[in-house]
Amino acid sequence: MELRAKKAWEVAMGPAKTLPMQAFMAWMSGTSVSIFSILITGMILMTPFKTIMSVQQTFAPLERVAKGSSQKLDLTLQKAAFIAINLAGILFGIYRLSIMGLLPTASSDWLAFIPAKAYSEISF
Amino acid sequence: MLSSISLSKAALSVTLALSGLSSVAFGLFPDEAGRIDWHRAQIGAPTKLIPYMFNATNMGIFAITSRNTLASLDPSNGEIFWRQVFDSDEPIKALRVRDGLVLTLSGNSESHVRVWDASSGSLAWGFSQPPDANFRRGSGAAEFIEGSGDAVAVVGDSFVRLTPEQNTPVWELPLNATASYKRIVVGEKTAFVVGDARPTKKKPQSRLQVVEVDLETGAVVQKYQFANEQAMGSDRLVFLQSKEYGNYVVWREKKSIVWFVHRLGMHEPEWELYHAKLVQVELMPEDMLTSTLHEVDFDPALNQDLPRFAMTYQKDGKTKTVVVEMFLKGDSQQLEMRKVAGFRSDGAVLGSCGIAWPKGHKAVGAHSERAVVAVRSSAADDVSWRLYTDGKTPMHMGKLVYDRDTYGPVVSAVPYYVDSEPRVLIQTSGGLLAALAQGSNAPVWFRDESLAHAADMAFLELAAPVSSAEYAAKATDPSVLGSPVTRFILRWVETLRSTASWVTTGFGIFGPASDASASGEAARSVAEQMKPSSPIVVGDHFGFRKLSILGTSTGVVAALSTQGGVRSWTRFLAENGTAVSIENVFVTRANQAMSSSAPLVTVVGRSQITGNTVVATLNALTGEPVDSGSQLVVDLGRRHAKVFGLPAVDPESNQQLLGFVYHDKQQQQQQQNPQLGIWPSSARAVRAFCGISQPVFFDLGDGSGSTQISGYRALCPKDADRDAWAQDSLLSAASEWVFDLPAGETLISATDYQHGAQSTALLGRVLGDRSVLYKYLNPHLVTLATRIGDSGGIAIYLIDRVSGALLYSTVHANARVTGKQPFLAIQSENRVIYQFWQEGALEVSGAKRHSEAVRGFVTVVADLYESSKPDDRDQSRVFSSYDLLLPHVITSAYVSPEPATALGVTRTGSNISTRDVLFGLASNKLLGLPDQMLDPRRPRNAPTKDEQAEGLVQYAAPLVLDPKRVLSHYNSVAGIRRIASAPTHLESTALVSAYGLDLFFTRTSPSGTFDQLSPSFSKVNLVVTTMALVVGCLLGGPMVRRKLTNQAWA
């Protein structure tokens, strides 16, 4: 049982090892908006997202106590750590989006939606 | 299988071959130059025409025009041999042609005498007299001195003899301004300078003054006055010049039945009497009182023969003309006159050819070269001409069929000969110049010079061609258009038809190639017919083809297609036979595809007779009057100070309302407010005007020389008054504000937004850090430029026309604004651009921008923002001028290498494309500079990262006029006065038209043609490739299926 819990911690911490690698790739691809940097950023964002989605499947083999048994190990902590690490990955992706200027956070991003003023007088 | 491989190979090779072929075919495309743009080189309406054989074989028609142009035209086809465009403030007063040289005298305050080579138009030599304190306006004359190559001229207050050998006059004689001298008669040893004597207390009568001057020394031989109550230019006075017989002045006193004949230089006796009955027996005293005298030799100094003049008189309700020749009888030296020709000339315009041939090159043939032509309208739509040399019967005659409603009546005629064949050159008041020949009702050639006088232009959108089938159906069976299904079918039939024609013409490969063969110089000069066969009513899919409707000061309204400049219609507007001077053109009802009502154009002008405002409304597609029953040209009975299109529609005629501001000077003294007239004027129209939700403001006093600008608000009448509205009722206006210029300052010009120049797609300017500077967009912005005293310097004021608030002001102390160095300004979005001549250090409101002195044309750009801080915006949703929001102004100055004569900006449909600032240059070019180049935010130092991200490049004072940006490329577009732009259906592309003397039209894409396929894109390649792929799939599909089946069995 303990072995399983230990194994589950290993699985949970797994994504953390890829984070430095992703950061390095992100740094290499630069902050300019190009096809390569967008691909990398997309990957940085999508991978943790997909992983979070598949959190149950990832931990399912470790949760089962025995074959056919309905009893389950409590891996909530590991799962939470797993999700948190992946969320950190997503946050890193979002940070990359923002430094690339792809997040609509500046006033200029909403400029096109500002209605033009009406004029209360006309003159010639 | 083998066969299918060979088939696909064959398909591939066919594809390759076809693509190869197509690229060869596209290689034949001519350059787009001259295909999307067109240019009309013009000279303007001539004030004097001299057909002249300048050497043994060559003849030219030399012309000076009211658009300050000297030109030589080809007598056989009317093409321009050469032309010289003078400055806009330099009218040409005299033209003489002699021995391969052309002499002109021009200028108002400064006089210029120039001698040109007649065959090339190059300047042989010239002389300029600086402005003269004693200069009398109206003085000025120039003549060649026979045999010496020298010239004499009245320049300023002096009479000078000029020679090509030296820059200064051989001698100069001050004339002391006792007369305005208008004519020089060169005799053998002396010259006579003749003019109107200035009336004095002693001699209050108008008399002619003569100064006889020795040609060698410039000394006054004698000076005297003669001819009581006579004035130069009177139609009862003629000059006769002859080497052999001497020089004479013949006149008739107003209530006299005899001719007074004065020999120049002989004032004892002052005159001899001559009875005209000796010339024309039938003349009775009462006929003589109706007579007028005309000179018939247009270059009398050339006359080696017997001097002639013509007299026109009325007898029994008929007009008759006699040509009189003067001679000296036998040895007695007794002056005699005899009749040479006599004919009826009811309503005729007379013209004559003097001896316009150099010695030894007289016209050959049986006829005399001294012919008199009488041109008269014989029917409603034609004129006939008769050429008389002697006797009663015309030597030659012919006629011209033309519509006087399109070009106006004939105002002058000049006969000439080409290879012994007579030609008659006629000019109409509308500005048509046509050469007529015997045996044809059509002119040999013609030039429409009215467009050189264009005062305003409006663009009319044309219906897209997809609805041309519907358009045709509308004319024949309008019920077809009732159902959307039939409309759909009609459109498809049209599409199929055009596709079929595309296929039959070889997929468009051969079409442009055939164009290419005709794209020579001749094809580019706009070919046209006297009367266009059918008006242009259908446009194109992209909105490139529109009608540009021009109104000219010669009374002509002309609609030209923006494609190729093809004329759609022309109409001549006259009031009691006198051309109306058109000032504004408004499209008052737009072209609506499915509407049964025709689009309308309303032209506003001034009557040349009364000076009153006149209005005419025409069908914009055909040029026909809208209401054939009523009078076309309506005299409003008042003079307007200002006219504008109102945002309201007359419910009756469904046309846009026009507002006229009337403000006569007398009223102004009494401090009365101006009044506003509405056109069309009716009770319902006024109700529509009062229905405009916003109050209407206007300003006055924005003309040159004004010292005060005032603002007014139009007031709506009470309901009762509205019902009692009469045709000539006016609305009153309330005074809102007065803007007094500082003492000593006078207004140079006031500039507001050109139509559509204020609208924008983006309300702010995105900076490098993604923050926004919000644009200050005020449609009421007016840029005032004033002259500060006499010391030079100009002040710029940006004011609000509604509140009269001063938004920004600056002073350019070293600016100089003169006629030759005009001030130009334009407003576009939140930007004001202006240009002036600078002498000295460039200062903007006291802060020195450049330490070195600048001597040149300076272009200043001022951008207006809501705030100096990014992301700071006035939050109100409605802009009111009374909120007094002051703009933050950023300025920058650039030094232009050459002056502009007109400024403009491009306009696109949604204003998303960047704008090009258009410069009409004095060097006859039209240049488009991108907006970014003039950006005042360009950093003075190397741009930072944020500035780079904003697209800013480092500031450099010289404005680079890149030759690649010259929109007019090799065309010499002379005298650009205005630049107009119109959007197309493609956002990338704007139509641009420059007019003034010449007319030039092109289209431009300031941001590149991002929404069009490039011309090199091969549609044939695309079709063939797609077909090859389909064939490949069809052939390859069974093969693959067979392979898979075989694999399954294996």
Rounded Cα distance, B403 and B409, in Å: 9
List residues of A whose CB lies inside 8 A of any B CB. Answer: 101, 106-109, 111-112, 114-124
CA trace torsion B253, B259, B260, B263 (10° rounding): 140
Distance from B802 to chain A by nearest Cα, in Å? 6
Q: Among B188-197, B548-557, B662-671, whose mean pLDDT is lowest?
A: B662-671
Q: Among B435-444, B814-823, B835-844, whose mean pLDDT is lowest?
A: B835-844
Give this prediction's pTM. 0.82
Top-confidence residue, B514 or B965: B965
Contact of B567 with B633, CB cutoff 8 Å: no
What average pLDDT score do residues B393-412 get?
A: 82
For the record, the structure tokens of A4 come out as 């399983």
pLDDT of residue B808: 92
pLDDT of residue B582: 92
Helix (H, G, I), strand (E, B) or coil at A31: coil
What average pLDDT score do residues B516-520 get?
A: 36
pLDDT, mean over chain B: 81
Contacts of B491 (CB under 8 A, 6+ apart): B466, B467, B469, B470
Q: Which of B468, B433, B437, B467 is nearest to B451 (CA)?
A: B433
Q: Which residue(s) pair with B863 in the sheet?
A: B831, B890
pLDDT of residue B136: 57
Cis amide bond preceding B680, omega within 30? yes
Q: Is the pLDDT of residue B519 over 70?
A: no
Q: Is the pLDDT of residue B1029 over 90?
A: yes
Rounded Cα distance, B203 and B1006, in Å: 68
pLDDT of residue B595: 67
Least CA distance to B879: which residue of chain A?
A119
pLDDT of residue B586: 92
What average pLDDT score do residues B173-177 get?
A: 79
For the record, the structure tokens of B770 come out as 């993604």
Top-confidence residue, B823 or B630: B823
* Alpha-carbon separation of residue B244 from A26, B327, B727, B811 (angstroms): 104, 9, 66, 66
Q: Is the pLDDT of residue B882 over 70?
A: yes
Does B697 contact A106 at a Cβ distance shorter than 8 Å? Answer: no
B542 band by pLDDT with thresholds 50, 70 and 90: confident
B601 band by pLDDT with thresholds 50, 70 and 90: very high
* Alpha-carbon separation of residue B277 from B233, B284, B287, B601, B763 (angstroms): 25, 8, 10, 55, 83
Contacts of B500 (CB under 8 A, 6+ apart): none
For the record, the structure tokens of B447 come out as 């030039």
Does B879 contact A118 at a Cβ distance shorter than 8 Å? Answer: yes
pLDDT of residue B15: 44
Task: List the single residue in B699, B766, B779 with the smallest CB-CB distance to A108.
Answer: B766
Q: Please, what is the Cα angle at B787 between B785 and B789, to 5 degrees?
A: 155
Contacts of B802 in chain A (CB under 8 A): 121, 123
Contacts of B17 (CB under 8 A, 6+ apart): none
pLDDT tens track for B979-993:
999 998 888 889 999
Helix (H, G, I), strand (E, B) or coil at B805: coil
Whether chain A has a CB inside 8 Å of the CB on B492: the answer is no
pLDDT tens track for B464-477:
765 556 656 665 66
Does B644 contact A124 at a Cβ distance shorter than 8 Å? Answer: yes
Contacts of B50 (CB under 8 A, 6+ apart): B61, B62, B63, B95, B97, B298, B299, B356, B414
DSSP conformational letter for B476: H
Q: Is the pLDDT of residue B1043 over 90?
A: yes
Return the top range by mean pLDDT from A98-107, B198-207, B268-277: A98-107
What average pLDDT score do residues B683-706 get?
A: 83
Least CA distance to B782: which residue of chain A?
A124
Kindly state the percentage of chain B with pLDDT values over 90: 15
Kindly state the percentage of chain B with pLDDT values over 70: 86
Q: Which of A53, A54, A27 is nearest to A40 (CA)?
A: A27
Q: Is the pLDDT of residue B491 over 80?
A: no
Rounded Cα distance, B220 and B158, in Å: 12
B832 band by pLDDT with thresholds 50, 70 and 90: very high
Q: Is the pLDDT of residue B455 over 80?
A: yes
Chain A to chain B, count of Cβ pairs less than 8 Å apart?
75
pLDDT, mean over chain A: 82
Whether chain A has a CB inside 8 Å of the CB on B690: the answer is no
Q: Among A45-59, B356-370, B771-785, B923-937, whose mean pLDDT is lowest?
A: B356-370
Q: Is the pLDDT of residue B551 over 90?
A: yes
pLDDT of residue B471: 59
pLDDT of residue B1039: 93
| Pairing assessment for the beta strands B696-700 and A122-123 based on DSSP bridges | parallel
What average pLDDT score do residues B117-121 get?
A: 90
Contacts of B659 in chain A (CB under 8 A): 124
Top-confidence residue, B845 or B964: B964
Q: Is the pLDDT of residue B411 over 80?
A: yes
Q: Among B5-14, B337-346, B390-399, B550-559, whose mean pLDDT is lowest?
A: B5-14
For residue A121, is it within any domain?
Answer: no
What average pLDDT score do residues B36-51 get?
A: 87
Q: Is the pLDDT of residue B638 over 50?
A: yes
Top-confidence residue, B682 or B586: B586
Does A124 contact B779 at a Cβ distance shorter than 8 Å? Answer: no
B134 band by pLDDT with thresholds 50, 70 and 90: low
Task: Evaluate the CA torsion angle B107, B112, B116, B121 in order and state its sign.
Answer: negative
Rounded Cα distance, B816 and B824, in Å: 12
What average pLDDT score do residues B759-773 get?
A: 86
pLDDT of residue B138: 64
Kindly provide the residue ranges of all beta strands, DSSP E only, lying in B772-846, ordered along the sequence. 772-774, 781-788, 794-800, 806-812, 815-816, 824-828, 831-844
What average pLDDT score do residues B110-124 get?
A: 90
Distance from A86 to chain B by nearest Cα, in Å? 30
Contacts of A119 in chain B (CB under 8 A): 694, 779, 878-880
Distance from B700 to chain A by nearest Cα, in Å? 10
Total domains in chain A come to: 1
Q: Is the pLDDT of residue B478 over 70?
A: no
Q: Among B39-53, B295-309, B383-397, B654-668, whose mean pLDDT is lowest?
A: B295-309
ipTM exceeding the 0.90 mark: no
For the record, the structure tokens of B911 come out as 């204003």
pLDDT tens track for B803-813:
889 999 998 88
B827 band by pLDDT with thresholds 50, 70 and 90: very high
Contact of A124 with B696, CB cutoff 8 Å: yes
Interior/surface letters B847-868, b for 16+ CB within 10 angstroms, e for the rest: eebeeeebeebbbbbbbbbbbe
Least CA distance to B661: which residue of chain A?
A124
For the record, the structure tokens of B12 come out as 């591939």
**Within 13 Å and on the Cβ side, how many CA atoms surround B994?**
38
pLDDT of residue B394: 80
Helix (H, G, I), strand (E, B) or coil at B636: coil
What is the distance, to the nearest Å, from the Cα of residue B416 to the centroid of all Cα atoms in its chain?
A: 28
Range of the domain at A22: 2-113
pLDDT of residue B1046: 92
Contacts of A62 (CB under 8 A, 6+ apart): A4, A7, A8, A11, A73, A75
Top-confidence residue, B457 or B301: B457
B69 band by pLDDT with thresholds 50, 70 and 90: very high
For residue A120, is it within any domain?
Answer: no
Contacts of B652 (CB under 8 A, 6+ apart): B680, B682, B684, B685
Top-confidence residue, B483 or B565: B565
pLDDT of residue B355: 47
DSSP conformational letter for B707: S
Least CA distance to A122: which residue of chain B?
B696
* Alpha-carbon separation of residue B11 from B3, B22, B459, B503, B1042 (angstroms): 12, 16, 50, 20, 22
For residue A71, is it within any domain?
Answer: yes
pLDDT of residue B526: 41
Contacts of B671 (CB under 8 A, 6+ apart): none
Q: Which of B172, B294, B164 is nearest to B235 (CA)?
A: B294
Contacts of B762 in chain A (CB under 8 A): 111-112
Rounded Cα distance, B1 and B663, in Å: 92
Contact of B846 with B810, CB cutoff 8 Å: no
Contact of B415 with B349, CB cutoff 8 Å: no
Q: Is the pLDDT of residue B508 over 60?
A: no
* Alpha-carbon separation of residue B550 from B308, B450, B894 (angstroms): 43, 10, 34
For residue A78, is it within any domain?
Answer: yes
Distance from B573 to chain A by nearest Cα, in Å? 27
Rounded Cα distance, B210 and B154, in Å: 13
For residue A124, is it within any domain?
Answer: no
For the record, the structure tokens of B806 come out as 């001063």
For residue A86, is it within any domain?
Answer: yes
pLDDT of residue B27: 23
Task: List the single residue in B692, B699, B880 with the smallest CB-CB distance to A120.
Answer: B880
For the record, the structure tokens of B319 come out as 């007009």
| Pairing assessment for the beta strands B824-828 and B831-844 based on DSSP bridges | antiparallel
* Alpha-carbon separation of residue A68 from A56, A62, A63 (angstroms): 18, 13, 12
Q: Is the pLDDT of residue B381 over 70?
A: yes
- Residue whose structure tokens are 């592309």: B989
Helix (H, G, I), strand (E, B) or coil at B694: coil
**Type of residue numbered B721:** D
B23 band by pLDDT with thresholds 50, 70 and 90: very low
pLDDT tens track for B699-738:
888 778 888 888 898 888 877 677 777 777 888 888 888 8
What average pLDDT score do residues B900-924 get?
A: 89
Q: Among A28-32, B22-26, B142-146, B153-157, whose mean pLDDT is lowest?
A: B22-26
For residue A83, is it within any domain?
Answer: yes
Q: Which of B827, B856, B860, B828 is nearest to B841 (CA)?
A: B856
Q: Please, what is the Cα angle at B502 between B500 and B505, to 5 degrees?
A: 105
Q: Is the pLDDT of residue B59 over 90?
A: no
B32 band by pLDDT with thresholds 50, 70 and 90: low
Rounded Cα distance, B819 and B822, in Å: 6
**Among the residues of B839-878, which ranges form H helices?**
none
Q: Is the pLDDT of residue B1 over 60?
A: no
Edge-first strand listing for the sheet containing B220-226: B179-186, B190-197, B208-214, B220-226
pLDDT of residue B665: 57
Contact of B926 with B918, CB cutoff 8 Å: yes
CA trace torsion B827, B833, B837, B838 (10° rounding): 140
Rounded Cα distance, A65 and A75, in Å: 12
Q: Is the pLDDT of residue B528 over 80?
A: no
Task: List the single residue in B647, B770, B871 with the smallest CB-CB distance to A101.
Answer: B770
- Stated as kind and residue range, the H or E segment containing A27 is helix A2-29
Low-confidence ranges of chain A (pLDDT < 70): 1, 65-69
What average pLDDT score do residues B846-852 get?
A: 53
B507 band by pLDDT with thresholds 50, 70 and 90: low
For residue A47, is it within any domain?
Answer: yes
